[in-house]
Amino acid sequence: MIFWAAFTKLADSNFTMPLAALLAIWLAGARAWKPFFLWCLLFGSAIVLVVATKIAYIGWGAGIAAINFTGISGHTMRATAITPALMALLLQNQSRQILQLGLLAGIGFGIAIGISRLAIHVHSVSEVVSGCLLGAVIGLGFAYLIRGKEIALNRKLLIICITALLPVLTLKPAPTESWMENVAYYLSGKERPAQTTSLESVTTEYH
């Protein structure tokens, strides 16, 4: 349990969102405008979908009780989307076999994050699977759409920038669940339950 609790932090929003932004900035800096807009559209749409499913459940109880689904796992989606996308960029000039191994490793990392969400009991299987599938569509879709394109980048500098983000993992996670809770109650007009302080403390209910 201690291992999974530490491991799952690798997909916390305070790390993965800046990482996704770094990828976009890097593409813009390389003037790879089509990949830039593709990434922003794909990843942005996935984030909107994850947030929408959670707000829908919190505000209106829109879930699927039969499979214990209350919203797509954001951690799993982000990990499964961002890692293959980064692999596609870092390995773009490598052989097809190496690129495929890199993409598989990226998907494997996302699956491992999904397992960690199950291990610490903050998501159901259906929520993790949906996060994996959505993230894989984004990550592998991006890799497929940029295939054959030469995107100029300094791999060493990119890796240094990614490494520079690692210290944020020691910080307290951003209260994204609490923000979504506030939005959901505002939009639905529901009153916040008296004993509910935030989604952070009741993740088994809303995650």
To the nearest whole percent, how much of the chain has pLDDT over 70? 93
Identify whether 64 is part of a domain: no
Question: Above 50 in pLDDT, residue 166?
Answer: yes
Q: What is the mean pLDDT of the chain?
A: 90
pLDDT of 198: 37
Identify whether 111 is part of a domain: yes
Domain that holds residue 117: 2-59+70-187+200-206
Identify whether 65 is part of a domain: no
Question: Above 60 in pLDDT, residue 201?
Answer: no
Identify whether 106 is part of a domain: yes
Question: Above 70 in pLDDT, residue 50?
Answer: yes
Question: Above 60 in pLDDT, residue 76?
Answer: yes
Provide the number of structural domains found in the chain. Answer: 1
More confident residue, 188 or 77: 77
Average pLDDT over residues 90-98: 92
Identify whether 195 is part of a domain: no
Identify whether 193 is part of a domain: no
Identify whether 16 is part of a domain: yes
pLDDT interval class at 194 (50, 70, 90): low
DSSP letters, the chain, are -HHHHHHGGGG-HHHHHHHHHHHHHHHHHTT-HHHHHHHHHHHHHHHHHHHHHHHHHHHH--SBGGGTBSS--HHHHHHHHHHHHHHHHHTTTS-HHHHHHHHHHHHHHHHHHHHHHHHTTSS-HHHHHHHHHHHHHHHHHHHHHTTT------HHHHHHHHHHHGGGGGSPPP-HHHHHHHHHHHHH-PPPPTT---GGG-HHHH-
Identify whether 192 is part of a domain: no
pLDDT of 195: 46
pLDDT of 171: 86
